[in-house]
Amino acid sequence: MRMMLSAVFAAMTVAGSGMASAEPVRVQTGLVEGAAENGLTVYKGIPFAAPPVGDLRWKAPAPAANWEGVRKTVAFGPSCPQDQSMSPAMGFPIVQTSEDCLYLNVWTPAKSPGEKLPVLVWIYGGGFALGSTAMPTYDGANLARRGAVVVSVAYRVGPFGFMAHPELSAESGHGSGNFGLLDQIAGLKWVRDNIAAFGGDPNRVTIFGESAGGISVSMLAASPVAKGLFHRAISESGGSFGPPQTGGIGGVNVPPLKAAEAQGKSFLAGLGANSLAEGRKLSAEALVKAQGPGLGGFWPVLDGYVLPDDQYKLYRAGKYNDVPVLIGTNADEGSLFVPSIKAADYVAGVKTGYGAYADKILAAYPGNTDEQALRSARDLFRDTGFAWHTWAWARLQTKTGKSKAYLYYFRQRPPYPPLPQFKDWGASHGVEIQYVFGNLAPPMQWRPEDRDVSDMMGAYWVNFAATGDPNGAGLPAWPHYAESSPATLLIGGPQTELDVVPHLDKLEVLEGYYAWRRGEGRP
């Protein structure tokens, strides 16, 4: 995987060589100069907030400082601090990091500020522990050439972005723990105030993201703090509609504020910091080391401010940012996260996490043999992590909102390297990103059918950004979701076609489980 990513990065670096300077553009904080690149102008490393260092660590992003003269914006800013020991295994390249990391990037095909092109704002994934706008897969050039301004926004991850603490909550007056989400919101405010200078339309902004980025999109769609900052939303393998995480229960992630504050207090105490002031004096390296490898150590928090409540309840009550959504899941999400498992371990894990509902879960996702347990563990991961959330999202918005929801199920198996670990993988977690961005680079042996799927997805995504409807000339018809006709576009695989929601029987079992966890049903 490391060799593949290095080759992809090298290929894209060569493709981007020979760039020329472009005319400076004025943003609110000063003049920026990007680079002309094959019909586009590209700006990398524009600061959208002050560096969150020193006393600004664990605070909402502050405004960026003004500068004199012309700022060269031709290289990505540093990525936010993170433990990169697992990055190659997770498909992430090793990147330069610094706490001074709140920068964004713009790819624009516009020749003048008055073109008012649709805007796509990318939010990266990485389990809220990893992520960088500098990943070659996220290069926005090919999407921009379809007629959109593409922006990618950095945000703090791990304890820097999602650590709550009682002193932090007292300091802010409205909870703590969602600094990474506030970074995303600050980036969207920058887009609102500055994107017209790059030929973008501030009234046609679409947020899109994958995994933790897709979950972020879901959370922004429910956050009153993000109201009015975007007009459509695309979530790839995201969504956050489960109840609060209390005591290690299965299938949910978002903790209530008190639990998150206790975690943060314990985390700093483990580093010898018994106050917030002492915590702000710790080195970034010490915080990264204490967090350790892996995903999910810190997560967005039900703080009562950015995230006011259980998102399922908010949507049921019609309390959300009602915009058109395009949302979906990959067919084999779990293969990346569950490489192997024994039947006994799988069954024991379900009984521990799902309590009195475990028997119903095991009836839908059986584990009588090791082979069956592996398939069920992967499917249960797919559905509790992603598929149930997108289905719940489409249903709730259809019932309580005015805007349409378009649901997809991605099943195109990419040309994995001929290695044993990929033998039984299908459309795994994150593989759709390369298709969406159109970055099908060597050394993978991409086939004509992969390029067809990529062209189709790029067209759908840009059409949706332009109008709130993905449909367009030459594309398979994609009707919106309705309870009477729960249409889902099955993308790739044998062919792209319409069907009902895949694995609906399993999702209905999970609907009962989540209702029970909310105290609204019985096992």
User: Domain coordinates of the chain in residue numbers?
Assistant: 1-241+252-323, 330-335+389-523
The 10 Å Cβ neighbour count of residue 71 is 17
**pLDDT at 288 (0 to 100):** 96
pLDDT of residue 48: 98
Q: Based on the residue annotation, tell me whether 174 is a catalytic residue of this protein.
A: no
Q: Choosing from 237, 333, 428, 480, which is the catalytic residue?
A: 333
457 by DSSP, 3-state: which?
A: helix
pTM comes to: 0.95
Q: List the alpha helices (DSSP H) in 23-124.
A: 87-90
Contact yes or no for 129/121 (Cβ under 8 A): no
Span 48-84, pLDDT tens digits: 999 999 999 999 999 999 999 999 999 999 999 999 9
Burial zone of 228 (CB within 10 Å; 0-12 exposed, 13-18 middle, 19+ buried): exposed
What is the per-residue pLDDT for 221? 98
Tens of pLDDT, residue by residue over 207-230, are: 999 999 999 999 999 999 999 999
235 is catalytic: no
Ranges of the chain with pLDDT below 70: 1-19, 90-91
Report the top-level CATH class of 1-241+252-323.
Answer: alpha beta
Residue 89 has a pLDDT of 72
The catalytic position among 231, 389, 429, 480 is: 429
The pairing of beta strand 30-33 with beta strand 25-27: antiparallel
Alpha carbon distance 177, 255 (integer Å): 10
Of all helices (H) and strands (E), which one includes residue 122? strand 117-123
Residue 83: predicted pLDDT: 93
Identify the sign of the CA torsion 466, 394, 458, 19.
Answer: positive
State the DSSP H helix or E strand holding residue 184, giving kind and residue range, or none if neither: helix 179-194
Per the residue annotation, which of 211, 223, 237, 454 is the catalytic one?
Answer: 211
The rounded distance, in Å, linking the Cα atoms of 343 and 146 is 48
Q: Is-catalytic flag, 165?
A: no
* CA distance linking residue 8 with residue 277, whole number of Å: 43
Place of tokens 């999109």: 217
Q: What is the pLDDT of residue 90?
A: 66
